[in-house]
A and B are shown apart, each in its own frame.
Chain A
Amino acid sequence: MSPLRRVVVVGASLAGLRAAEALRRYGYAGELVLVGDEPHMPYDRPPLTKQFLNDGWRPEQIALPIPPGLDITWRLGVPASGLDVADRAVRLADGARLHYDGVVLATGARARPWPGHPVPAGVRTIRGLDDAAAVAEALSRTRRLLIVGAGFLGGEVAAAARALGVAVTLVEHQEFPLLAQTGPHVGRFVAALHRANGVDLHLGSRVQGFTSNGRGELTGAELTDGTQVEAGLAVLALGATPNIEWLAGSGLVTDRGLVCDEHCRPLRDDRLPAPDAVAAGDLTRWPHPLAGNELISPGHWSNTVEQATAAARALLKPDTAPAYRPVPSFWSDLYGVRIRSVGLPHLADASEVVDHDPAAHRLIVAYHRNGPLVGALTANRTSQLVPYRAEIQRHLDSRRTRTRSVQD
């Protein structure tokens, strides 16, 4: 392989930055260009729905540190508009064309918007720093907040707003919060947490429509359970949708994400990996043995960091990079309760409560699929995750040896 002289990283956030760091760590000495559509230097998103909303954190506190010596050429504030895989070039919206010897695709995801009609002013989503700053500002002027979607993000916004003394109505169409993601035990536990903290939780309910005043400003919403909610601010927490549009026409396969193989390489229409390209972070979906090799997209911080490192290695050392088969892990903080998980709880067909101490807000749930353990979740009991994680790791390792012996 001829040495790479220019690597272009598209997406200047967690995945892009960590991939750039790993490229240097693995010895890449050529030109390194980071393209990002946001005007900001890379920052960390998890605090946006936590300390940034209720602890008065400033943007400087969430800046991701840039280690000295990375020697990056920054192209911030300009989106990439296309990728030419055959010519090895990234097209930018300002007309520039960046030739590459290697490319890292890391354009992440954005908040899913309200489907259909335009929404009144005061209905917001949170994905980036500017969104979170706008919500933080609006929260300081609002007494009543409506949140649509009681997933982790919506739940954290509820907790932050309650800490500020704002009245919160939280609407979730599932029977429990997080039901599809973590099952009924955690759903009940989280629902109880919200209610204990004074949230007006509406389960099995949806927003039928928003109401507004003559100036087009939000006044509230009507729910399918018949409730009329009053609110000066609404936050939509409906999940994320991957930023794949700019890759249209590139010949890469997209299916609710950029489809990659186990070596972080995006696949072309002919299902072969695209040359000189890797991808990482919330943009991607790839096959994981825990999921029976179905495509997964965890959408979490730890995966992003680990996958970015694996992608950098795969780009520099395509012949020796190991398959990327992590034990995923996730965290969320709700009202000071530390919720942590390992594995892929959403895949489970059975789950059991191993321990529950309601007074101490402690919970341990184990998840199984066709028998074997596929995940575990704890609240205020992170220590107990360690053996579960080890068991999932062993299971993954044993599958690895099995596949190898079948191939031999």
Chain B
Amino acid sequence: MTVIVDLNLCQNHGQCVYAAPEVFAFDEEETLTYQPEPPESQHDRVRAAVAACPVRAILVSEP
């Protein structure tokens, strides 16, 4: 699974950080950071994050 967040769309709603805190986080500048290739154990949480993002900024591709 690869994850891309469109940071131009992202408005810091934080929903992805709540849904998958091991994959998404905020840095000191309040910018979203994330793991582009999360481990298998996180995939369900990442899918939940995709559904929870109000601006649909998270794109996931699964082979």
Contact = CB atoms under 8 A, between A and B. Distances in A.
Interface of A: 18, 44, 46, 65, 301-302, 305-306, 309, 327, 329, 331, 333, 338, 340, 342, 380-383, 385-386, 389
24 contacts: A18-B51, A44-B54, A46-B54, A301-B54, A302-B52, A302-B54, A305-B52, A327-B18, A329-B18, A338-B11, A340-B12, A340-B13, A340-B14, A380-B30, A382-B12, A382-B13, A383-B14, A383-B25, A383-B27, A385-B14, A386-B17, A386-B18, A386-B26, A389-B18
Interface in B9-33: 11-15, 17-18, 21, 25-28, 30
Nearest to A309: B51
Contacts of B28: 383
Contacts of A383: 14, 25-28, 30
Contacts, number: 46
Chain B interface mostly helix, strand, loop or mixed? loop
Nearest to B12: A382
A68 B32 CA distance: 29
A309 B11 CA distance: 23
A382 B51 contact: no
A65 B18 contact: no
A329 B30 contact: no
Interface string B23-63: 00111101000000000000000000001101010000000
A309 B48 CA distance: 11
A381 B54 contact: no
Nearest to A380: B30
Given A382-B26, A386-B26, A331 B56 contact: no
Nearest to B18: A389
Contacts of A331: 11, 13, 54
Given A333-B11, A380-B30, 19 more contacts: A18-B51, A302-B54, A305-B52, A306-B52, A327-B18, A329-B15, A331-B13, A340-B12, A340-B13, A342-B18, A381-B30, A382-B13, A382-B26, A382-B30, A383-B14, A383-B27, A385-B14, A386-B14, A386-B17
Contacts of B56: 65
A306 B11 CA distance: 19
Nearest to B21: A386
Q: Which 7 A-B pairs have the closest CB atoms?
A: A383-B26, A382-B12, A382-B14, A338-B12, A331-B13, A383-B30, A301-B54
